[in-house]
Amino acid sequence: MRRFRLTEPLVMLATVLQWLVLSICTGAVVGVGCTLFLRALYASEGHAYAAPWWWLALALPLGGLANGLLLHYGYRLRRSTFNDNAIVAVNEQHGKLPFRTMWIKPVAAIITLACGGSAGKEGPCSHIGASLAAVVGRVLHLNPEMRKRLLACGVSAGFSSVFGTPIAGAIYGVEMLAIGRIRHDFLFPGIVAGVTAFEVSRALGVPYPHYVIDFTGQFTEVLFLKTVLIGVLCGGVAWLFVELLRQAKKLFGGLKQRYALWPPLVPMLGGIVLALLVIVVPIDYLGLSLPLMERALHGETMPYLGFLWKALLVAITLGSGFYGGIVTPQFVLGAVAGGAFAHLFGLPPALGAAVGLVAVVASASNAPIAAILMGVELYGADATLYVAGACVAAYLIIGHRSVYPEQQIAFSKSAWIFARADLPVGQEKVRLSYGLLRWWRMRRRKGKRLR
């Protein structure tokens, strides 16, 4: 036993050194890859805001067709049967991803955002990170468990390089894998890779915004409760967003099946719908919508239905078959909704927008810890208690839904709800627990007797 006591610290020290080297190398490679993508994206995105309607009426359907062709024919280059989804790769494929098709999603995302499609930029970065990490694992002939850990490092590095919040991005890449469970053995590699990727991207000139939100002053329970209410509201916004996204995928999938549509025509149809909606919806809600989010965080008045317009455009964009990220839209939804409804709770619009931004991420992605850390990195330590209450409240309100259908359920969020463990959100049928149903039946019987 004494010999093991002496050996164990040495083994753990070797483990730390091993993952320090692997994570730094992976983070550096991912940082370079994501920087190249972000530079190409920034050069092409944003032109739709100043474009006339006729230009959008041409660009959106053509962009949808280009997405459809790229995704339809590009994946024929794949030799393996592996899914290129990072969550599936970690949970089901032992950290393996196809490499030959790594470029398809980043190129598709650039096309989506360049033509005005409403989506995000972080999805391609996490995909780049996961793919490059999978290549490193293959080259080094790592075992399946180490490949899984290294791929999670790549996802964390991709998120960190695009968010500008290295710790939150790293935790997000681990927390998004399952609801209610974090692999602690993934944390050290993920954080090291995330910080490395962030520093590399920043050194290569990727700009990261900084927001000054006034959370200073003595903590008050009243203000804390108000931010919790903002979190409850944002949980409802996230619920609506997830449902709109699910219904849009179901609608376009049904149209494809019913009319036997050629797959590339489905996103083209989505582009036509987007072009028609732009007649009544402000152009600000197209693309990344980062200028709209920044105005909300600076305290400008936001329209009450702004979050609905953004959620609808994103749902049609991604649901019809365009490719793009799903986290940046959550930022916009939260900032717009929080800024619009803040005055109902007696909060400054900028503070409501700041809390709402992280609360929707905590809810729609089921990543409350990453969202809390994101609030701390973006707004400072004074925001910790306020964003924590809002994020956890929003996380509970949405229930067992997610923008990631592949995300597994590790633990139920309530003792009154039953959900089988280790099944994806999109497959598990969550239902009320037997104890709650029995209590409800007994109450109903008792009520009938009293009558």
Residue 381 confidence (pLDDT): 85
The rounded percent of the chain whose pLDDT value lies above 70 is: 94
**Residue 384 CA, distance from chain mean position:** 21
Determine the Cα–Cα distance for residues 23 and 146; give it in Å rounded to an integer. Answer: 12
Q: Is 431 left (phi over 0), alpha (psi -120 to 50) or beta?
A: beta
Q: CB count, 10 Å around CB of 93?
A: 22
Model confidence, pTM: 0.91
Residue 201 confidence (pLDDT): 94
Q: Is residue 124 a contact partner of residue 105, using CB atoms and an 8 Å limit?
A: yes
Residue 22: name the closest of 118, 132, 105 by CA: 132
**DSSP string across 322-383:** ---BSSHHHHHHHHHHHHHHGGGGT--HHHHHHHHHHHHHHHHTT-HHHHHHHHHHHH-GGG
**Lookup: tokens for 356:** 């709402």
Q: Is residue 334 a contact partner of residue 359, using CB atoms and an 8 Å limit?
A: yes
Tens of pLDDT, residues 268-326 = 999 999 999 999 999 999 999 999 999 999 999 899 999 999 999 999 999 999 999 99
Sign of CA dihedral 245, 248, 250, 256: negative
**Lookup: tokens for 179:** 């609801």
Tens of pLDDT, residues 9-33 = 888 888 899 999 999 999 999 999 9
**Lookup: tokens for 223:** 């203000």
HSE-CB for 350 with a 13 A CA cutoff:
13
Determine the Cα–Cα distance for residues 54 and 57; give it in Å rounded to an integer. Answer: 5
Kindly list the distances between the CA atom of residue 62 and the CA atoms of 53, 109, 161, 224, 264, in Å, as whole numbers in the listed order. 14, 14, 30, 48, 10
Q: How confident is the model at residue 82 (pLDDT cuts 50, 70, 90)?
A: confident
Determine the Cα–Cα distance for residues 128 and 40; give it in Å rounded to an integer. Answer: 14
Residue 30: name the closest of 144, 183, 173, 143 by CA: 173
Kindly provide the b/e burial profile for residues 230-262, where b requires at least 16 CB atoms within 10 angstroms of the residue's own CB: bbebbbebbbbbbebbbebbeebeeebeeeeee
